[in-house]
């Protein structure tokens, strides 16, 4: 008579594998919407901030990007004076050669030069910007002003040009003074905020 082999009770485990604890089996049945035990995918609203790109700079308006790409030197007081005077003298020579010494064009070109001088002057020498631009205006007038002959005639032509073009001189000086003042106020405010104790 054959004897039936006794089989070990089948409790859901295979030979050579270790049975899972009850907590792991319960998590496997309940976890995941597809029944595979995988955690549900994170929705975009609950994604961690680290998953999003954090160092990407959004492009600004075209005018702002063009200003950012401009050169940004830092001139000393002497350097800003030399820059402004040399540039105005070159513009005066070009005005004499190409446009027949047009004082109106010379005055128009003086305004952006004052703007650049006030912007490019370094923080410690901001007060020199409104001082050097009138000197540069007079230097640039040398090739533009009418000269009757000799040193006396050239000086008379320079004084006459300064008197007739005083509006451009005051306007350029005002532009440089306003920009230098604004930059100085912003610098002092940042320095005050930096040394202010944190509020609790």
138-194 residue pLDDT tens: 999 999 988 777 788 888 888 999 999 999 999 999 999 999 999 999 988 888 877
Residue 15 has pLDDT above 60, yes or no: no
Higher pLDDT, 39 or 92: 92
**The whole model's pTM is what?**
0.62
Q: Which residues contact 99 (CB under 8 A, 6 or more apart)?
A: 105
Burial 41-53 (b: 16+ CB within 10 A, else e): eeeeeeeeeeeee
Residue 119 has pLDDT above 90, yes or no: yes
Residue 77 has pLDDT above 80, yes or no: yes
Higher pLDDT, 133 or 51: 133
Task: List phi, psi (to 5°) of 4.
Answer: -75, 135
- Average the pLDDT over 112-118 and give the result: 94
Torsion angle (degrees, nearest 10) of CA 155, 104, 97, 79: 70
Residue 49 has pLDDT above 70, yes or no: no
**Would you state the pLDDT for residue 44?**
47
Calculate the CA 93 to chain-centre distance.
34
Range of lowest pLDDT (20-29, 42-51, 74-83, 151-160):
42-51
- Closest by Cα among 102, 195, 86, 94 to 139: 86
Confidence of residue 58 (pLDDT cuts 50, 70, 90): low
CA-atom Rg of the chain in angstroms: 39
DSSP annotation of 173 reads H
- CB atoms under 10 Å from CB of 177, counted, come to 18
DSSP annotation of 144 reads T
Residue 74 has pLDDT above 60, yes or no: yes
pLDDT exceeding 90 applies to what percent of the chain?
Answer: 44
């Amino acid at each position: 008579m054959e004897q039936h082999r006794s089989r070990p009770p089948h409790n859901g485990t295979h030979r050579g594998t270790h049975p899972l604890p009850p907590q792991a089996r319960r998590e496997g049945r309940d976890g995941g919407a597809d029944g595979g035990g995988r955690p549900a995918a994170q929705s975009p609203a609950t994604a961690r901030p680290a998953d999003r790109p954090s160092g990407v700079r959004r492009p600004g308006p075209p005018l702002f990007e063009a200003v950012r790409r401009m050169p940004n030197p830092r001139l000393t007081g002497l350097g800003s004076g030399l820059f402004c005077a040399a540039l105005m003298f070159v513009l005066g020579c070009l005005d004499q050669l190409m446009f027949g010494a047009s004082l109106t064009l010379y005055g128009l070109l003086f305004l952006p030069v004052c703007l650049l001088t006030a912007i490019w002057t370094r923080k410690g020498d901001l007060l020199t910007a409104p001082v050097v631009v009138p000197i540069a205006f007079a230097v640039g007038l040398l090739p533009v002003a009418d000269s009757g002959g000799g040193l006396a005639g050239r000086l008379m032509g320079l004084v006459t040009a300064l008197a007739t073009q005083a509006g451009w001189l005051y306007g350029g000086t005002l532009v440089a003074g306003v920009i230098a003042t604004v930059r100085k106020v912003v610098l002092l405010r940042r320095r005050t905020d930096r040394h202010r104790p944190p509020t609790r």
